[in-house]
Amino acid sequence: VLVANDQMALGVLCALNELGISVPDKVSVVGFDNISDSAFFTPPLTTVEQDFLALGQQAVKRLLDSTEQTPHSYCQLILPTRLIVRSSTSVKTKQGENAQEILNHLDKARALLQSSLERN
């Protein structure tokens, strides 16, 4: 389960625990933010870290730059992220697949998404 932020991921972890569903044995959970507490969840949360300072700086820059452009113009910004792997996830592979093959599939999906975003 990929959750929009770490705080909501904590809610998912709690709900799964209440239902008796083992994380990560039955379900893997990944958050998004890497808040300081996420390392202390039970189990510690795998999360995607983003640079909030860079995000805020770019948002303000884009806002200030938008005064020179037409109102409501669409802008796109891609900032680097980093996956912090902790105990809320485990690698499960289908027969005939291994972890490296899965990573290759993810790289291809990321490249396709990047290409699609650049076209729009």
**Sheet of 81-84, strand order:** 30-33, 46-50, 81-84
- Flag whether pLDDT at 46 surpasses 80: yes
Higher per-residue pLDDT: 44 or 98: 44
> What number of other Cβ atoms are within 10 A of residue 92's Cβ?
12
66 and 54 within one domain: yes
- Flag whether pLDDT at 100 surpasses 90: no
Which range (18-22, 28-32, 85-89, 90-94) has the least confidence? 90-94
50 domain-assigned: yes
CA distance 59 to 79: 11
Owning domain of residue 33: 6-89
- For the chain, the average pLDDT equals 84
52 domain-assigned: yes
Q: Tell me the β-bridge partners of 50.
A: 81
69 domain-assigned: yes
- Flag whether pLDDT at 92 surpasses 90: no
